Amino acid sequence: LKDQDLSEVEYCEFSKRFGEPVPYLQENYHHPDFPLIFVSSNVKKDGKQIGVARTGGYWHSDTAFETDPKFITMLMPKVLPQVPRSTRFIDMAEVYAALPQATKDRLEGAQFLHSGRMRFKIRPDCIGLDIHEILQLIDQATPPVTHPGVITHPYTGEKVIYGSRGFTIGIKDRSLDEQSALLAEIFDLAESERFVREVQWSMGDIIIWDNRFMQHSSGRNPGPEQETMMYRITLKDGMPLCASQTVPAETAA
């Protein structure tokens, strides 16, 4: 969407047209007045960091490391730097369709393991803890989860790879060598120029996408000397991850 000059209140209300907005599980990412908004920002106000800086610089699907992933993401710039800022996308249905049949056969019934552990940003309350204690906190908050490696999209019926180099850490009940080789084959293909699309941001833009299909990564972004701030909202859309699943009553939008 272009030319959308929305306040924080309007942005939150607009998001409800697409499902049920859900606050991110870590409060340090929240907008101070609007917890539905996840703030990716290097901007400081009165010497205090607003949101969290340097987020999403790797290929991932938002919240895939959660038991109940949020499938719709909205993103809107609040502050853009002088140099162009971009976000890159990969359609994982296109990637699945391009795989050799032998690889598709190896993916049959595969359960991918997901974790946000390696992407955790140290919070002020982590100061003074050792690495072991921090890792324990992460695993208590977001223990590794499994999701089908290949899903049937509940809206379109397409086969989609639900995994990313950022959050997918293995394949259940496969040898380490097989896990490593299979994931590398998939992600090397997905991240090739053939499948990557890049969007340049302008003020007033809103991009909305389905995390079942899309991986994304922040693209060519500025250093800390140029201020940037993005507003993200993630939503439940009332549908399951996969057409063969049902939506638990407590998670339906």
The predicted structure's pLDDT at residue 221: 66
Rounded to whole angstroms, how far apart are CA atoms 63 and 114? 10
Backbone angles phi, psi at 109, to 5 degrees: 75, 5
Rounded to whole angstroms, how far apart are CA atoms 10 and 197? 29
Rounded to whole angstroms, how far apart are CA atoms 124 and 122? 7
Superfamily of domain 8-251: Clavaminate synthase-like (3.60.130.10)
Of 183, 188, 216, residue with least CA distance to 87? 216
Residue 251: pLDDT over 60:
no
Half-sphere exposure of 61 (CA within 13 A, CB side): 29
Rounded to whole angstroms, how far apart are CA atoms 27 and 69? 17
Residue 24: pLDDT over 70:
yes
The predicted structure's pLDDT at residue 211: 97
Residue 8's H or E segment, with its range, is: helix 8-15
Q: Which amino acid is at 61?
A: S
Mean pLDDT of the chain: 91
% residues pLDDT > 90 (the chain)? 70
DSSP annotation of 219 = -
Neighbours of 246 (CB within 10 A): 9
Lowest mean pLDDT among 42-56, 82-96, 158-172: 42-56
Q: Tell me which range, 15-24, 38-47, 136-145, 235-244, is most confidently predicted by mean pLDDT.
A: 15-24
What is the arithmetic mean of pLDDT over 77-95? 94
User: Exposed (0-12), middle (13-18) or buried (19+): which is 116, by Cβ within 10 Å?
Assistant: buried
The predicted structure's pLDDT at residue 47: 80
Lowest mean pLDDT among 63-72, 119-128, 149-158, 193-202: 119-128
Residue 69: pLDDT over 50:
yes
Residue 247: pLDDT over 70:
no
Whether residue 146 contacts residue 111, with contact meaning beta carbons closer than 8 Å, is answered with yes
The predicted structure's pLDDT at residue 253: 43
Q: In this predicted model, which residue has the larger pLDDT, 54 or 253?
A: 54
